[in-house]
Each structure stands twice: as C-alpha cells, then as structure tokens.
Amino acid sequence: MNANRSASITAYDARMTNPAAPSPLPDDGDAIDVQGLTLRFGHLTAVDHIDLQVPYGIIFGLLGANGAGKSSIIKMLTTLLPPTSGHARVAGYDISANPHEVRRRIGYVPQMLSADGALTGRENLLLSARLYGVAANERRDRIETALDFMGLSDSADRLVKTYSGGMVRRLELAQAMLHKPAVLFLDEPTIGLDPVARHAVWKHLKDLNQEFRMTILLTTHDMEEADHLCTDVAILQTGKVAIQGTPSELKAAIDEHATLDDVFTRFSGSSGDAGRLTDTAAARRVARRLG
Ligand SMILES: Nc1ncnc2c1ncn2[C@@H]1O[C@H](COP(=O)(O)OP(=O)(O)OP(=O)(O)O)[C@@H](O)[C@H]1O
Ligand SMILES: [Mg+2]
C-alpha cells in the first residue's frame, strides 16, 4: 500500500473514535449468533430453525440455490424483517429487542442495486451519511475517505447512471462503510459484474476485512468467490443449513480433488432430485463430523 493510502486509512481510523460512535465491541462472543431463526411467509417456510455462529473478524459465506433463504436471513439480521420465531444477536445486540443498536453497528448492501442513478456518487454518500447518523462536521472527511478507499474519487461528481456496474457496487460499499460498521452484510455483491470488476470488489472486501477488522457476511452463487474470500461457509438447502465449515474442510469431505462447486452440487439440493435424500443424509453425517 502506498504511503498516502496508508495515511488516509490511519486518519479514517482515528476519526472513528469520535464520541458519537457506538461503544467498543466486546472482545468475546460472536459477531453474529443465530439460534433457531425461522421465517414463514404464509405456508412457506423460507428459513427453518437456523443456527449459525460467526466470530468477529471473518468473512462468512452464505451459499445456496435460488430460493434457499439467503436474502431472507440477511433481511432478518439487518432488522428489515421480523423473524417468525427464534433469536439472533448481531454485534452483541438482539435483533428483536434492540434493533436500533443493531442498525448502528451494521452496514447492508442489498441484492438489487440500490444507489440512486439520478444523483452523483458524492450525493449518494451524503444521503447515506445522514441515514447512518454520521455527525454533520464529520461527513465531508468520511465521504472523501470512503471515495478514496473504493477508488471512486475521480468519478464522485458524475451521475451514478453513468457508472459501470462495478463502480455502482463499489459506491454501495462506500455507502455501507461510512459509519465503519462492525458487521457488513452483502447480498450477492458481485452479481452481474465482469471478471475485472469482480476482482476489484474482492480486493476492497479483503481490505475492509483486514484493515478495519470488519466482519463480513455475504451471499454468492459464485463458488470461486466463496473459496477466495470466505473463512467459513454454510450451504443452505430450502431454509436449513445443509453443511457448514471452511472451504478446505468441505472440499476434503468429498475428496482431495473436489472443488467448492462440487460441494455445492452435492449439498445444495439443486442438482436434481434423485440423490436428494441420500445427499441430505450424507450432508448431515459430514456436518456432524466437522461440527
Ligand atoms: N416477501 C415474500 N413473500 C413471499 N415469499 C417470499 C418473500 N420473500 C421471499 N420469499 C420466498 O422465500 C424463499 C426464500 O427466498 P430468498 O429470497 O430468501 O432466497 P435466496 O436464497 O435469497 O434466493 P436467490 O438466490 O434467488 O436470491 C423463496 O421461496 C421465496 O420465493
Ligand atoms: Mg437472494
């Protein structure tokens, strides 16, 4: 990293110690602790008694076929949807009892692009700074630093509708990092991006995780992305965790040549129906072994 960049990050860190910032995070406990979390839409059970523990400081991948329940879990953990039953704590606070405290400590980039195309990048960031309660006298510095961090300084005053998909995603990451959240939720952060833009987002996510020790929970259909970024992954199958572990553990559980694509095909239940019951049983056996 060049000296300017390093200095700007140090300055960014220093600014984060303002009196209005949330109290320091506990050293123990998990960033995300989910117990029996369930979400029903009428007769459909989208999330079915999920248990998950995500330690502080890691990148966690939530994988699963279309409709498996990934976005539903994120919407509950970000307090956008109330659970039907079960409990979850995020950054030390219960999502149902203390949603306001949770919101102060998280960032969220939704699955659908959310930046406003009719505004410039800088204007979008200003809106987010207000939304996240960044103090008025700090907004300008934080916005400049976030633009610099995401490589968008030169495009800050262009309308977002002229941005490429990769730039929009980086702007959304900049919006989500303004208040330096402890936990960042990203729903398919690289969907629709070309390989160069995708790798740029990967680099920025690693930087956020390593330089600010930000815990990241992301969803993806891209197994190369999960393998590259995630310390730990869980594969969902129709609202339940089919298997969880490090990418290496899960690959080794199949055989020494297996890829994460192979693991996904085996455990996500999306590979057809013939082997589904057998595979579910196998998944549970491996899960017990790893657990
Ligand atoms: N608002 C809603 N009303 C009714 N059903 C819903 C609603 N939102 C999601 N569902 C259903 O809940 C299930 C889980 O959906 P969810 O969006 O969480 O899946 P996902 O894993 O994020 O899928 P994708 O990979 O396609 O984004 C699906 O069957 C979906 O149709
Ligand atoms: Mg989704």
pLDDT in tens, 174-220: 999 999 899 999 999 998 888 988 999 999 999 999 998 999 999 99
Whether residue 110 has its Cβ less than 6 Å from ligand 1: no
Question: Checking DSSP bridges between strand 183-187 and strand 106-109, what pairing results, if any?
Answer: parallel
pLDDT at 286 over 60: no
Strand partners, 245: 233
In eight-state DSSP terms, residue 70 is H
CB 32 within 8 A of CB 215: yes
Per-residue pLDDT reduced to its tens digit, 46-99: 999 999 999 999 999 999 999 999 999 999 999 999 999 999 999 999 999 999
Contacts of 77 (CB under 8 A, 6+ apart): 32, 34, 88, 90, 95, 106, 185, 217
**Which ligand 1 atom lies nearest to the CA of residue 73?**
18
Residue with tokens 């539903």: 72
**Is residue 151 in some structural domain?**
no
| Cα–Cα separations (whole angstroms), residue 273 to 28, 150, 268, 279 | 42, 43, 11, 10
Q: Specify the residue with its C-alpha closest to ligand 1, atom 28.
A: 67
Which residue range is the domain that position 34 belongs to? 3-116+182-290
Q: How far, in Å, from the CA of 4 to the mean position of ligand 1?
A: 44
Give the 3-state secondary structure of residue 68.
Answer: coil
Task: Give yes or no for residue 238 CB within 6 A of ligand 1.
Answer: no
The residue whose C-alpha atom lies closest to atom 26 belonging to ligand 1 is 66
Please say whether the beta carbons of 174 and 132 come within 8 A. no
Assigned domain for 110 exists? yes
* 95: in domain: yes
For residue 111, name the pLDDT band (cuts at 50, 70, 90): confident
Give the pTM. 0.85
Q: Give domain status of residue 72, yes or no.
A: yes
Distance CA 150, CA 163 (A): 14
Residue 134 forms part of a structural domain: no
Candidates 251, 248, 281; CA nearest to 264 is 251
- Identify each DSSP E strand in the chain by its residue range: 30-41, 44-55, 59-64, 85-90, 93-94, 106-109, 183-187, 215-219, 232-237, 240-245
Q: Indicate whether 168 belongs to any domain.
A: no
- 222 within domain boundaries: yes
Residue 237 lies in a domain: yes
Output the CA 64–ligand 1 centroid distance in Å: 12
Q: What is the CATH number of the domain that holds 214?
A: 3.40.50.300
Ion ligand 2, residue ranges at CB < 5 A? 70-71, 111
State the Cα angle at 272 between 269 and 273, rounded to 5°: 80
Choosing from 47, 72, 81, 233 the residue with most ligand 1 atoms within 8 A of its CB, the one to mutate for a pocket test is 72
Quote the number of domains for the chain: 1
**φ, ψ of residue 126 in degrees (nearest 5):** -65, -40
| Separation CA 36–CA 50 (nearest Å) | 5
The answer to whether 47 and 38 have CB atoms below 8 angstroms apart is yes
Q: Quote the ligand 2 centre to 221 CA distance (angstroms).
A: 10
Structure tokens at 67: 């409709």
Report the SS3 class of residue 137. Answer: helix
Whether 36 contacts 88, CB under 8 Å: no
> Are residues 187 and 111 in contact, defined by beta-carbon separation less than 8 angstroms?
yes
The closest residue, in CA terms, to atom 5 on ligand 1 is 41
Listed range (8-22, 100-114, 157-171) with the worst mean pLDDT: 8-22
Q: What is the mean pLDDT of residues 241-260?
A: 95
